[in-house]
């Protein structure tokens, strides 16, 4: 097995083992549940806002694991050990993105089915919503790792992470909701934005990790 | 084992402050360097420069051969058992089969199943040393390797470094504690 795959697997293991996975998913469901409470039991209205509510909840849930993605590795010297072994920072960041997505997205998709039921989303609309999340979450994971690398070691990292991540996630939100609502072309734009983030974030996160080390 | 590590006129600036300058040495197979000096004088920074983690402010660093670093950070996942945590790093280099021997040599074989978070300071140091041994890298960079070690473990450390040098390896040891490295060059910052 290649070194890169081992780093990916370590990320997946860390996501699943520390209970770090249950928390974002529970948070996601809770946010999704808040909407029916706040808006009332009007099934038609809820169904209309469901894609937007689910996507907003997904963005907020994506913020939760940010603090454990890079900062602990910087502190304990794991990033140093990768660097001494000649593994490029960008490659470590890419492995972190892949591992984070594998740990974060599947449970989120399962939870989306529950959230969609709570929001009275018609069954026919569920596949489009799931597809939009499946396409958008890699971009969200990339953004999460890049943010984590930027704020690692700073005070108030959690609050800062929100301020950095959420503005960059707005295009994902717009095209994600558009794709989930069946707007033509939105799914392609969502894919483009997600791809752009997945391509660009490893370099950005790698540079931030290099800065954090020196 | 062919290995070399050389500093030429290396300077280090941290936070706008000059820590040291015009540091130079050349190490070949079997050589060792003992870096001494009071706290905050730049011993750890020198190790990090040698490890390639920190660019020198001036001068050149030449390294031939793989490097292994023992630093303050333990870099082992605290939720894993010691054996699993070490296996990750050994596996990364495709040297998992060297791990049992490394654990034996630092006297941690019996603690292989103990979670990393339960290890004492000295045991963590020894775990880091086991990772260095298992890496098979010829250039060892040890930052305060004797921290938290009892006298028995310090002589074990001396034996391990001596054997590494006898096999043609290089060791750079930064420490404020007395460690015996026969025939080592000394650098006082």
B71–A7: do the CB atoms touch at under 8 Å?
no
Residue B113 DSSP label: T
* B114: number of Cβ within 10 Å: 14
A84–B55: do the CB atoms touch at under 8 Å?
no
Q: pLDDT class for A18, splitting at 50, 70, 90? A: low
- Residue A74 and residue A209: Cα distance in Å, rounded? 8
Q: Could you give the number of structural domains in chain B?
A: 1
Q: What is the pLDDT of residue B18?
A: 93
B67 Cα distance to chain centroid: 9
Least confident of A14-23, B64-73, B92-101: A14-23
Q: What is the pTM of this model?
A: 0.93
Q: Is residue B111 part of a domain?
A: yes
* B144: number of Cβ within 10 Å: 20
Which is nearest to B130 in space by CA: B178, B67, B65, B82? B82
Q: What is the pLDDT of residue B156?
A: 94
A214–B54: do the CB atoms touch at under 8 Å?
yes
Residue B81 DSSP label: B
Segment A139-145 shows an average pLDDT of: 97
Range of the domain at B105: 27-55+66-188
- Residue A85 and residue A82: Cα distance in Å, rounded? 5
What pLDDT, in 10s, does the model give residues B114-173? 999 999 999 999 999 999 999 999 999 999 999 989 999 999 999 999 999 999 999 999
What pLDDT, in 10s, does the model give residues B21-51? 999 999 999 999 999 998 889 999 999 999 9
- Closest residue of chain B to A73, computed from CA coordinates: B75
B157 exposure class (CB count in 10 Å sphere: 0-12, 13-18, 19+): buried
CATH number at residue B178: 3.40.50.300
Q: Is residue B2 part of a domain?
A: no
What pLDDT, in 10s, does the model give residues B74-126? 999 988 999 999 999 999 988 888 999 999 999 999 999 999 999 999 999 99
> How close A88 comes to chain B (CA, Å)?
12
Q: Is residue B142 part of a domain?
A: yes
Q: Is residue B7 part of a domain?
A: no
Q: Is residue B130 part of a domain?
A: yes
Q: Which residues of A touch B71 (CB under 8 A)?
A: 77, 80
Counting Cα atoms < 13 Å in the Cβ hemisphere of B102 gives 24
């Amino acid at each position: 097995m290649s070194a890169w795959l081992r780093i990916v697997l370590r990320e997946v293991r860390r996501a699943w083992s520390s209970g770090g996975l249950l928390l974002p998913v529970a948070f996601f469901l809770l946010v999704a549940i808040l909407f029916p409470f706040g808006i009332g039991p009007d099934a038609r209205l809820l169904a209309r806002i469901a894609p937007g509510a689910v996507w907003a909840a997904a963005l907020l849930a994506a913020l939760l694991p940010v603090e454990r993605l890079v900062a602990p590795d910087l502190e304990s010297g794991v990033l140093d050990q990768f660097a001494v072994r000649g593994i490029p920072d960008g490659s470590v960041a890419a492995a972190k993105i892949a591992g984070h997505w594998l740990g974060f997205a599947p449970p989120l998709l399962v939870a989306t089915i529950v959230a969609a039921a709570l929001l009275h989303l018609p069954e026919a609309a569920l596949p489009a919503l799931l597809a939009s999340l499946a396409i958008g979450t890699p971009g969200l994971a990339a953004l999460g790792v890049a943010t984590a690398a930027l704020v690692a070691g700073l005070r108030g990292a959690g609050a800062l992470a929100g301020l950095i991540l959420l503005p960059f996630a707005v295009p994902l939100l717009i095209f994600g909701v558009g794709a989930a609502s069946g707007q033509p072309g939105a799914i392609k734009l969502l894919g483009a934005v997600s791809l752009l983030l997945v391509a660009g974030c490893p370099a950005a996160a790698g540079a931030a990790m290099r800065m954090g080390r020196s | 084992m062919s290995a070399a590590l050389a500093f030429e006129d290396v300077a280090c600036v941290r936070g706008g402050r000059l820590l040291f300058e015009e540091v130079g040495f050349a190490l070949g197979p079997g050589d060792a360097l003992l870096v001494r000096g009071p706290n905050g004088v730049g011993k750890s920074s020198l190790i990090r420069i040698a490890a390639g983690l920190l660019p020198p402010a001036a001068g050149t660093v030449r390294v031939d051969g793989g490097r292994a670093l023992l630093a303050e950070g333990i870099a082992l996942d605290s939720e894993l058992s010691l054996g699993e945590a070490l296996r990750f790093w050994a596996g990364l280099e495709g040297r998992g089969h060297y791990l049992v021997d490394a654990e034996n040599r630092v006297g941690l074989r019996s603690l292989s199943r103990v979670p990393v978070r339960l290890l004492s300071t000295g045991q963590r140091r020894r775990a880091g040393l086991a990772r260095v041994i298992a890496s098979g890298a010829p250039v060892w960079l040890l930052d305060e390797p004797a921290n938290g070690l009892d006298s028995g473990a310090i002589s074990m450390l001396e034996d391990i470094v001596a054997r590494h040098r006898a096999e043609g390896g290089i060791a750079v040891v930064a420490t404020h504690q007395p460690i015996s490295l026969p025939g080592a060059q000394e650098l006082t910052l």
